[in-house]
Structure 1
Amino acid sequence: MSDAPEAPVRPVPAFDPPYYMAVFTTVRSEEQSGFGETDARLEELVRGIPGFLGAEHAQNPGGLGITVAYFRDADALARWGEHAEHRAAQKRGREQWYESYTLHVGRVERSNEFVRAAPNRGTHDR
C-alpha cells in the first residue's frame, strides 16, 4: 500500500462538440488472468492516438463495468478500433475475460460540466 495521496476523482471535462464517444459495458467472467496488465497497456496505447480526449471507467459491486472513451472525430475512434494490440485484446476478452459486453458509439452534440471547487466556473453548455 502506497503512502502517496490518491489523485482526485474527476470526470473527463466537457469539450466543444461535436466529438465521439464509445461506451463499452461489460460483465466479466471468473477468469481474469492477464487482464490488469492488458488494461494498463491499452490505457497507455489509447493515450497515443491523435484525437483521444479521455476516458472514464466505473464498476459496480455486482460486476457491471462501464468505460466511456471520448475522441475528437470518427477517424480517431476508427484508428483506436483498428489498432493491432487493441484488436488482440478484444479477441482475448471474448475468449477469456467477458461473459458479455456491449459497445455503443455515438456523436456528442451537447456537452456541459459543473465544477464546484473552481471559482468563476459553473455549468457550461458547449
Structure 2
Amino acid sequence: MSELPTAPVAPVAAHEPPYYMAVFTTVRTQDQSGYSETDARLEQLVKDVPGFLGMDHAQTPGGLGITVGYFRDADALTEWRSNAEHRAAQQRGRAQWYQSYTLHVAKVERSHGFTRGPAGGAASG
C-alpha cells in the first residue's frame, strides 16, 4: 500500500457552469533549464487574470504532464493567452522544454465534486 502525501492535495473545486477549461498536456525534453522558475512565475501571473478560477497539475511516472486551467469566461482565457510573458514562455517551450504538447479548450457545461468528510462520512458539493 502506498503512503498518502503529507501535504493536503485537492482538485480545484467545482464551479457553477458555464466556465472554460484549458487542458495542456506535455512531454518534456531533457533540457529543462529555466523551466521551474518560468513555471512558478506563470503560476503567479495567471492568478492576476480576472476570471481565473484555479489550476490542477498531474505528472505520470512515464513523463506525461497535464495542467488544467479553469477560467470563468472566454475573455479571461483570451487575456491569459495574450499575456506577453505567457507568450514568451510558449515560444521558449517550443524551442527548448517540450518534445510535444497538445492544448484543448472546452466550455464546461456540468460540474460537481465530492469530498470525504471526517470519520469516513461523505460530504458532497
TM > 0.5: yes
Aligned residues: 119
User: Corresponding residue for 2:104?
Assistant: 104
Secondary structure class of the residue paired with 2:116:
coil
Q: Distance in 1 between matches of 2:103 and 2:93?
A: 13
Amino acid at match of 2:55: A
Query: Which residue does 2:37 correspond to in 1?
Result: 37
Distance 1:120 1:62, change over 3 A: closer
Q: Secondary structure at the match of 2:16?
A: coil
Structure 2 counterparts to residues 43-62 of structure 1, below 5 A: 43-62=43-62
What SS class does the counterpart of residue 27 from structure 2 fall into? strand
Identity of aligned residues (%): 68
Instruction: Verify the 8 A CA contact 2:116 2:122 in the aligned structure 1.
Output: no
SS of the residue corresponding to residue 112 of structure 1 reads coil
TM-score normalised by the chain length of structure 1? 0.90
Which amino acid is the alignment partner of residue 31 of structure 1?
Answer: D
Question: Aligned ranges for residues 1-126 of structure 1 at < 5 Å?
Answer: 7-117=7-117, 121-122=123-124, 124=125
Per-residue CA deviation, residues 82-111 of structure 1 (Å, 9 max, x unaligned), is: 000000000000000000000000000000
CA distance in 1, matches of 2:122, 2:95: 50
Where does structure 2 lack aligned partners over 5 or more consecutive residues?
Answer: 1-5
Q: State the alpha-carbon separation in 1 of the partners of residues 10 and 37 from structure 2.
A: 23
Structure 2 Cα separation of the partners of residues 41 and 62 of structure 1: 26
Q: Provide the C-alpha distance between the structure 1 equivalents of 2:22 and 2:122, rounded to a whole number of angstroms.
A: 31
Q: Report the CA distance between 1:120 and its aligned residue.
A: 7.4
TM-score (norm. length: structure 2): 0.91
Q: C-alpha displacement at 1:121, in angstroms? A: 2.8
- The gaps in structure 1 that reach 5 residues or longer are 1-5
